[in-house]
Amino acid sequence: EDFIIKTMEEFSKGKRGSLTVGISPFRSLYLIPDIVNKVKEKFPGVTVVLHEEGSDQLRKNAAEGKYDFAVVNLPVDESVLDVTLIEADTLVLAVPEKLAETPPEAAKSSIPEIRLNDCKKLPFVVVSPQQEMRQLFDKMCAEADFTPDVATEVVGVSTAWSMARAGVGATLLPLQFVKNFDFDENIALYKLKNCQQSRQPAIVTRRGQYISEYAKYAIELLTKK
């Protein structure tokens, strides 16, 4: 009986329990490991459960309250979801240096700009049409009146990054994702001039749902990143 009472107290004080997070597979690669470490340091009895899913599934499940919170790109249905913005994605074109006509200096502190329609000779690695990154890339190409030479179509952003590093072609990526990896100097990064497209990720929770102490702590960490 004492054990049961003690266990209930530990749950009520946030010392035990589970933190369920909905997030896309590529974003979990760079955004979540540090957060999990810090949550585990503060709440060692808490198990962190990641549901790595596509954006549509994340929005649906978050609206149904299946996660403590989810990280998903706007827009979302704000009539059923509370929204907390986090750092917006900075989109860059990752170009294998062997394909770049004027590769930038090796220092990655400043990233030069390039126009998408100046990339007509480049082969591109793209993600599948169901992915938001592909839809964004297609919109950018339409705005620039540019038809890309697609060398390879892959399922996810992390595979596209691997293909770019292997020299297959250029690919569009969030800078935050790239910065998380120590990568070879054979990749040149460019920001895109006159680009109107962007991605705004946010933390979403179902309106009115209970938010545990460890979920609040994780959300606080994510908003500071």
Query: How much is the pLDDT for 106?
Result: 43
Strand ranges for the chain from DSSP E: 17-23, 46-52, 69-73, 81-85, 91-96, 113-114, 123-127, 149-154, 171-174, 187-192, 201-206
The pLDDT value given to residue 185 = 65
Which SS3 state, helix, strand or coil, does residue 27 take? Answer: helix
Q: How many CB atoms lie within 10 A of CB 93?
A: 25
User: What pTM, to 2 d.p., does this model score?
Assistant: 0.80
What is residue 183's predicted lDDT score, i.e. its pLDDT? 61
d(CA 114, CA 132): 22
What is the pLDDT at residue 164? 93
pLDDT in tens, 132-150: 899 999 999 998 888 999 9
Tell me which residues of the chain have a pLDDT lower than 50: 3, 6-7, 106-108
- Bridge partners, 190 (sequence order): 93
Q: Which pLDDT value is given to residue 186? A: 80
SS3 percent helix, strand, coil of the chain, rounded to 5, is 35, 30, 40
Per residue in 25-52, pLDDT (tens digit) is: 889 988 999 999 999 999 999 999 999 9
